[in-house]
Structure 1
Amino acid sequence: MNQVDYLRISLIDRCNFRCQYCMPEGSELDYILKQQLLTDEELLTLVQEVFIPVGFRQFRLTGGEPLLRPRVVDLVGAIASLPQTQDLSMTTNGFLLAPIAQNLYDAGLRRINISLDSLDPHIFDQIIGSHGRSRWQQVWDGIQAAHRVGFDPLKLNVVVIPGVNDHEILDLAALTIDKQWHVRFIEFMPIGNGELFGDRGWVSSAELRQQIRDRWGLTEAQVRGSGPADVFQIPGAKGTLGFISQMSECFCDRCNRMRLSADGWLRPCLLNETGQLDLKTSLRSGVSIPQLREQVRQLLAIKPEINYKGRDSGTTGVYSRTMSQIGG
């Protein structure tokens, strides 16, 4: 088991997209009320006085869509400025990114992951549930802005959906040839949406790699980050290709992360709610910081056991929230 030093922080559970793999069409979500969210002060208290002292050094800001969080640039700056912060990154859908990309970079954000599930605007809008004006161009503008600002690595996340975007694998992989972009193919994971995709299954990373290998060849590579991706490179390409194989290959024994939800629940496993801590309620009810640290230490101690329970129980019926509410 790797050292657990990586915390994914969900800033908000809302999103301005309704992606099929997060929020299937027709689903209704109970969003967190504003007063139920961790405040900026509470979040920074937990990061600085609880998580850093017990060993967390790497932080990723997620959502929902994190750029919907008010004062998100200020939050980035506050976390980035902590001397113990070794790495700060963000996952976003990119729709709101272009106007504030420079501000985020200036505040201390250096790595960013942007969702780009299709190069075809029509398919893209189908995936994200856009029934009005197309949103593809604004996301593409956000990617271009992130590239100009200098985010490194700049990663593009692609959830591969059989029969929807799996025919675009080579086109998406080609983005890494001339630019130092890092495309990551993610096996579809049926959390909160298993009925929608149950008849289609999922495309394994091995199949995707073989397509790319047949076209260009593949060599092993590396890219900075803390995720579970297996990284390869088209020979001579500037960027890399990552494959996240949570369905075809269990990587529980490599898990180095925990997740803090927007309403203050600390969860040790994406697939298992066992052991979760309600840090917000504890903080607001006056539980001392040393006590909170000890609770987190105890959860860290049993995380390996929780990971394997999550693996053994599969990927459906274990988590009560959808992927959009978990923070990925």
Structure 2
Amino acid sequence: MTVADLLDRPLGVLRLSLTARCNLACPYCLPDGQEPSGLLSMEQRLQVAKAAVALGAKSLRLTGGEPLLYKELDELIGALQPLRREGLQEIALTSNGMLLSAERAQQLREAGLDRLTLSLDGTTGTSVAAMAGLADPAAGERALKQVLRAIEHARQAGFDPAQGALKLNAVIQRNRNAEQVLPLAQLCRQQGLELRLIEYMDVGNRNGWRRAEVVPAAEMVRTIGEQWPLEPLGRAGSSTANRWRYRDGRGCVAMVASVSEPFCGDCNRLRVTADGIAYTCLFAAPGSGVDLKPSLAAGRDQGDLEAALDQLWRQRADRYSEDRSRSATPPGAHAEMAYLGG
């Protein structure tokens, strides 16, 4: 069964947050240093995933905070594998890479993780420190080296970038790291990685977002294309990214442009926080989520959970980014991205 919302958008992706904690303090996210109360157990997370798959979700992305801080991660990934027989096609994970050792990467691969996206917002100690909330360029340089090692660990573990199993995310913010667009593109061309450049977004309430600090995707495409000519590949249905191919054959680059080129029209993502609150939009208002814990209580039937998610999705009419682009009214408060899983 595939459930559709009020705008006829089917549920396709579950983004399941495993923790609100992070070992970095990126200023565009600013997570808390501690977990909310009432975290879901591993068994409850499995129930949520099973219910989402029953309603049509084909992809599961494990997020945070920093999901590598979740101690039962490998066990959870292994326990999710039977859902492939019920329609789940891929299990992916987004990480800042700081904790990804060679052993950890191998464990994730053996547990059954299909895709891994790492995050790196600069190629110098100064830019990394500024975007990761680190004390100084020396700390940024150490973090940069850790992420570069993580890329190699992931590759050696079998996450093949040529097959789309390993990609690199970078948030770009004017007056903070906008000069890193070309260096990041160069790094990914050298590494054989697809770079996903993400517009600075008005997520949460802590990052002091201003539209003037958004570097539009079109500007980033222009900057890269002047150095290495590009040809458009377009955006696959329900994808967050527009993709371009380098004409010299050195891979692809992608743009996530939720501010300048909203893609609400075919958004198919359901988000569940680490403490079991379901949201149907990254930019949801505080308190607008649905608490799934009553449906996950001991003795409740799995059908109760499926019914709760079914009702939530059928009532969905979110199109925040499109509404923002048409309105001169300042946006209201949002639920925090560190809880929603990005």
State TM-score, norm by structure 2.
Answer: 0.85
**Compared CA separation, residues 45 and 320, structure 1 to 2 (3 A):** closer
- Match of 1:92? 95
- Match of 2:121? 117
Counterpart contact for 1:269–1:310, Cα < 8 Å: no
5+ residue gaps, structure 2, are 1-7
Question: Structure 1 stretch 2-11 or stretch 230-239: which is displaced more?
Answer: 230-239
Q: Describe how 1:1-328 pairs up with structure 2 within 5 A.
A: 1-23=8-30, 31-33=35-37, 36-48=38-50, 50-82=51-83, 83-84=85-86, 85-98=88-101, 99-131=103-135, 133=139, 134-152=142-160, 153=164, 154-192=166-204, 196-198=208-210, 200-221=212-233, 227-273=239-285, 276-284=289-297, 286-303=299-316, 305=317, 307-308=318-319, 311-312=322-323, 316-321=331-336, 323-328=337-342
- In 2, distance between residues paired with 1:77 and 1:127? 33
Identity of aligned residues (%): 33
Aligned residues: 319
Q: Where in structure 1 do 4 or more consecutive aligned residues deviate above 4 Å?
A: 222-226
Counterpart contact for 1:114–1:156, Cα < 8 Å: yes
**Compared CA separation, residues 199 and 41, structure 1 to 2 (3 A):** closer
Letter in 1 for 2:332: G
Residues 46-75 of structure 1: CA deviation (Å, up to 9, x unaligned): 222x22222222100000000000121111
Counterpart contact for 1:6–1:257, Cα < 8 Å: yes
- In 2, distance between residues paired with 1:224 and 1:70? 34
- In 2, distance between residues paired with 1:200 and 1:309? 19
Secondary structure at 2:54 match in 1 = coil
**Compared CA separation, residues 146 and 187, structure 1 to 2 (3 A):** same
**Compared CA separation, residues 101 and 316, structure 1 to 2 (3 A):** farther
Counterpart contact for 2:204–2:333, Cα < 8 Å: no
1:286 shift after superposition: 4.6
- In 2, distance between residues paired with 1:29 and 1:106? 30
1:236 shift after superposition: 2.6
Question: Structure 1 stretch 160-169 or stretch 56-65: which is displaced more?
Answer: 160-169
**Compared CA separation, residues 74 and 172, structure 1 to 2 (3 A):** same
1:29 shift after superposition: 6.2
Letter in 1 for 2:124: D
State TM-score, norm by structure 1.
Answer: 0.89
- In 1, distance between residues paired with 2:304 and 2:204? 34
1:230 shift after superposition: 0.1
Counterpart contact for 2:292–2:305, Cα < 8 Å: yes
Secondary structure at 1:104 match in 2 = helix
Counterpart contact for 1:19–1:128, Cα < 8 Å: yes
Letter in 2 for 1:276: G
**Compared CA separation, residues 225 and 144, structure 1 to 2 (3 A):** farther
Question: Structure 1 stretch 264-273 or stretch 188-197: which is displaced more?
Answer: 188-197
